């Protein structure tokens, strides 16, 4: 059974007229009559008894009409449910995010979002592994670095610079590098994106003495705080420690790679309201501008008025 045929048949029955049904469907009367005839031919039964004055359902036509009517009601209900989802953020929001971003920002932002939109529920995975939103059915994946998959939409959340840091304990024991070349004599704490042979500097190839490598920014920071070596840490993860004197910024004029964080999702077309609303809320809550540098001093969560 074609859905169009079910709709045409249902309208004919409810209008008690081919002419009125054709008008309601914006179709030619001859088209409606032909579609009903083809439907009966395909089913091998007569659904309607026609006279010049009225239409009357056959017994099998009555049973068929009741099923078609229920299908039309279910279809209308499904459309209404989808439209309501698009009118106000609601439903289950599935998010994955890097560990540090999740711990520092996402929990507070998502909590504030859910307070504003109580029809939202959420599942969050805080992880260091790479997540494919399409394959895993995730609404939004927060990733470090722009994804290469052209089928995904990537929205840049922020950029964060890095700084070379070491603890006063380390510097007291090993000396303080005064020029970039001095780094060759110092112990390096490296992250996965860093070369194991050279310090992560732009435009420089200074050999490093790798003493520790890890896949977690907080771990690298804690190791640096303990005096294990020098680490190139994101500004947002080291600012408080530098301000309190627990870490010392070294060679502030050297250039280090910029880390970019993206929100990645499958498609912008027919995007669920819950996804659009949360992405907008996230950007506004962190008070970030596209392509801007995430400075700890400007990361402050605020209560935002509804936008819908």
- Are 97 and 126 in contact, with CB atoms under 8 Å apart? yes
Q: Residue 40 and residue 200: Cα distance in Å, rounded? A: 75
- Are 89 and 277 in contact, with CB atoms under 8 Å apart? yes
pTM higher than the cut 0.85:
no
**CATH topology identical between 96-159+263-298 and 162-250:** yes
Q: Which of 282, 297, 296 is nearest to 114 (CA)?
A: 282
Average pLDDT value for residue range 52-70? 85
Top pLDDT among 151 and 71 is at 71
Q: Residue 82 and residue 134: Cα distance in Å, rounded? A: 21
Q: Residue 55 and residue 177: Cα distance in Å, rounded? A: 96
- For β-strands 209-213 and 140-144, DSSP reports them as unpaired
Predicted confidence band of residue 156 (pLDDT cuts 50, 70, 90): confident
Architecture per CATH, domain 162-250, reads as 3-Layer(aba) Sandwich (3.40)
Instruction: Give the fold, CATH level 3, of 96-159+263-298.
Output: D-Maltodextrin-Binding Protein; domain 2 (3.40.190)
Top pLDDT among 124 and 105 is at 124
pLDDT tens profile 243-284: 999 999 999 999 998 878 888 888 655 567 888 899 989 988
What would the two tokens of residue 26 be?
A: 């914006």
Architecture per CATH, domain 3-87, reads as Orthogonal Bundle (1.10)
pLDDT at 13: 87
Share of the chain above pLDDT 90, in %: 31
Give the residues across from 166 on adjacent strands. 248
Task: Please count the residues of the chain.
Answer: 308
């Amino acid at each position: 059974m074609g859905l169009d045929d079910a709709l045409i048949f249902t309208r004919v029955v409810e209008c008690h007229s081919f002419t009125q049904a054709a008008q309601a469907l914006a179709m030619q009367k001859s088209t409606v009559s032909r579609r009903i005839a083809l439907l009966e031919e395909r089913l091998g039964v007569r659904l309607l008894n026609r006279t010049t004055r009225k239409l009357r359902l056959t017994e099998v036509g009555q049973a068929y009409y009741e099923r078609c009517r229920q299908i039309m009601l279910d279809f209308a209900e499904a459309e209404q449910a989808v439209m309501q989802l698009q009118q106000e953020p609601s439903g289950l929001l599935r998010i994955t995010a890097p560990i540090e971003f999740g711990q520092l920002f996402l929990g507070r932002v998502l909590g504030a979002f859910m307070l504003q939109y109580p029809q939202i529920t959420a599942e969050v995975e805080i992880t260091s592994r790479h997540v494919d939103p399409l394959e895993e059915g995730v609404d939004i994946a927060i990733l470090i670095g722009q994804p290469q998959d052209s089928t995904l939409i990537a929205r840049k959340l922020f950029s964060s610079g890095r700084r070379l840091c070491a603890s006063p304990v380390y510097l007291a024991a090993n000396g303080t590098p005064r020029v970039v070349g001095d780094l060759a004599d110092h112990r390096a704490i490296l992250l996965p994106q860093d070369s194991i042979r050279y310090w992560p500097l732009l435009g420089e190839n200074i050999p490093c003495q790798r003493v520790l490598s890890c896949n977690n920014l907080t771990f690298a920071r804690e190791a640096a705080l303990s005096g294990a070596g020098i680490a190139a840490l994101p500004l947002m993860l080291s600012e408080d420690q530098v301000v309190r004197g627990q870490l010392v910024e070294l060679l502030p004029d050297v250039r280090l790679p910029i880390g970019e964080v993206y929100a990645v999702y499958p498609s912008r077309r027919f995007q669920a309201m819950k996804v659009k609303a949360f992405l907008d809320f996230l950007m506004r809550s962190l008070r970030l501008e596209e392509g801007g540098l995430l400075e700890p001093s400007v990361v402050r969560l605020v209560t935002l008025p509804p936008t819908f």
